[in-house]
Structure 1
Amino acid sequence: MIASIIFLVFPLCLVMAALTDLIEMKIPNRIPAILSLAFLSLAPFVDLNLQQFAFHLLAGIVVFAGCFALFALGAMGGGDAKLLTAAALWFGFNGSLVGFLATVAFLGGILTILLLIVRARANTVLALGLPIPSSIVLAKKVPYGIAIGAAGLISFPQSPLAIWAIHAAG
Structure 2
Amino acid sequence: MTLLTEGLRVWLLFGKHSSVAPVSQMDLHTQNSGVRHPFGGHMMMTYIHYGLLIALAIALLFAAASDIRSRTIHNWLNAGIALAAPAFWWASGLSLWPDVAMQLGIAVLAFALFAGLFALRMMGGGDVKLLTALALWIEPGTFLQLLIIMALAGGALTIVMGGYHFLRREKERLAIPYGVAIAFAGIWVIFPKLASVPAIA
**What TM-score, normalized by structure 2, do the two folds share?**
0.69
* Count of aligned residue pairs for this structure pair: 152
Residues 3-18 of structure 1 aligned to structure 2 (within 5 Å): 3-18=49-64
- Cα pair 1:21 1:145 within 8 Å, conserved: yes
Which gives a bigger RCO, structure 1 or 2 (Cα 8 Å, sep 6+)?
1
Residues 20-99 of structure 1 aligned to structure 2 (within 5 Å): 20-50=66-96, 51-93=98-140, 95-99=141-145
Q: CA deviation at 1:110?
A: 0.4
- Cα pair 1:122 1:138 within 8 Å, conserved: no
C-alpha change, 1:122 and 1:75, in structure 2 (3 Å) is same
Distance between the aligned counterparts of 1:138 and 1:43, measured in 2?
A: 44
**1:56-102 residue CA offsets vs partner (Å, 9 max, x unmatched):** 11111111111100001111100011111111111132x21111110
Q: CA deviation at 1:140?
A: 2.3
Correspondence for 2:186 among 152, 165, 168:
152
What secondary structure sits across from 2:176 in the alignment?
Answer: coil
What secondary structure sits across from 1:91 in the alignment?
Answer: coil
C-alpha change, 1:104 and 1:153, in structure 2 (3 Å) is same
Q: Hey, which of these two has a bigger chunk of helix by percent? A: 1
CA-based RMSD: 2.2
Identity of aligned residues (%): 32
What secondary structure sits across from 1:48 in the alignment?
Answer: coil
Distance between the aligned counterparts of 1:108 and 1:4, measured in 2?
A: 27
**Structure of larger gyration radius:** 2
- Cα pair 1:22 1:143 within 8 Å, conserved: yes
**Structure 1: gaps spanning 5 or more residues:** 127-136
- Cα pair 2:110 2:132 within 8 Å, conserved: yes
**Structure 2: gaps spanning 5 or more residues:** 1-46
- Cα pair 2:49 2:88 within 8 Å, conserved: no
What is the match of residue 118 of structure 1?
A: 164
Distance between the aligned counterparts of 1:52 and 1:66, measured in 2?
A: 21
